[in-house]
Amino acid sequence: MARLAVPTVFVSVLLAGHLVAADTASKVVDKTLPLAAGGRLVVDTYKGSVRVTAWDREEASVHAVVTPDGTCDTGAELVVKTRIRIEGGGAEVRVVSDYDDLPKVSFDFRSDCGSRPFVAYEIKMPKGASLRVKDYKSRVSAAGVAGDVAVETYKGVVRLEGLAGKLDIETYKGDVVARFERIGGEVKAETYKGEIELVFPKGAAVDVHEKTGRRGRFESDVATAPGAPRVSVETGKGSIRLKAE
């Protein structure tokens, strides 16, 4: 029987003095919510990093650190106004980097003052739950997630290890490497200008459906067989590689 998880929240803001440089200001958010073994974790973020690891508990533990992008007088204020929303519980937990309270234009051309702060996530989730990440330009990694995984990123770097469910990966200018412990369902991979490498267990067979533009590249050394798990790949100007090792 899964133990009941009581939601916990811890938030801290570190501000060194009255006038604080942006590189000394950070905000930390910790929260744990119950998440069923067959539930879903959804992460919606903009830039920074997302590191997900699987565990045997039926709960999602989220640790987030918000730091400024650049150094300027308003950096600390932008960190404070960046909200980390960790919501739901049970069937689904949602994690969102919320910048709605930030000024519409926050870049100062007179100084090294970035726009939206960085958010670095450390997340633990049930091994059998599914994971969905929507990102702009973060470093995303996941290890040991046996449920279905879907990642959509614009300029991100993605590293996935120990996959065992369905995979749906889409990137515009990103760099993706996904390694499968076993093929547990359909695999979809699409990129316009990025690079995707899918690594399957040695001896595995797949049913490949490939669509490559004139400036795209597709390579595979994986055995193909009718009726094997379907792998659909599409690229316009990028590259997709299938490997067996």
pLDDT, tens digit, for every residue of 208-233?
999 999 899 999 999 999 999 999 99
Whether residue 134 contacts residue 155, with contact meaning beta carbons closer than 8 Å, is answered with: no
The pLDDT confidence band at residue 75, using thresholds 50, 70 and 90, is confident
The parent domain of residue 175 ranges over: 148-245
Q: State whether 153 and 122 are in the same domain.
A: no
Whether residue 93 contacts residue 39, with contact meaning beta carbons closer than 8 Å, is answered with: yes
Rounded-to-integer distance, Cα 197 and Cα 22, Å? 37
Q: State whether 212 and 186 are in the same domain.
A: yes
Cα dist from 44 to 59, 69, 74, 85, 116, whole Å: 19, 19, 24, 10, 14
Q: State whether 124 and 165 are in the same domain.
A: no
Query: Which three-class secondary structure state does DSSP give residue 62?
Result: strand
Largest CA distance in the chain: 67
Q: State whether 118 and 183 are in the same domain.
A: no
Residue 10 domain-assigned (yes or no): yes
Q: State whether 166 and 242 are in the same domain.
A: yes
Q: State whether 130 and 162 are in the same domain.
A: no
Burial of 118 (0-12, 13-18, 19+ CB in 10 A): buried
Q: State whether 169 and 91 are in the same domain.
A: no
**Which of the 8 DSSP states describes residue 2?**
P
Q: Is 70 exceeded by the pLDDT of residue 71?
A: no
Residue 141 domain-assigned (yes or no): no
Residue 21 domain-assigned (yes or no): yes
**Which of the 8 DSSP states describes residue 77?**
H
Q: State whether 131 and 163 are in the same domain.
A: no
Residue 140 domain-assigned (yes or no): no
The pLDDT tens digits for 99-147 are 999 987 544 544 555 589 999 999 999 999 999 999 999 999 999 999 9
Whole-structure pTM value? 0.87
Whether residue 123 contacts residue 51, with contact meaning beta carbons closer than 8 Å, is answered with: yes
Half-sphere exposure of 190 (CA within 13 A, CB side): 10
Q: State whether 110 and 24 are in the same domain.
A: yes
Q: State whether 117 and 238 are in the same domain.
A: no
Q: State whether 11 and 128 are in the same domain.
A: yes
Which of 164, 94, 168, 169 shows the shortest CA–CA distance to 127? 164
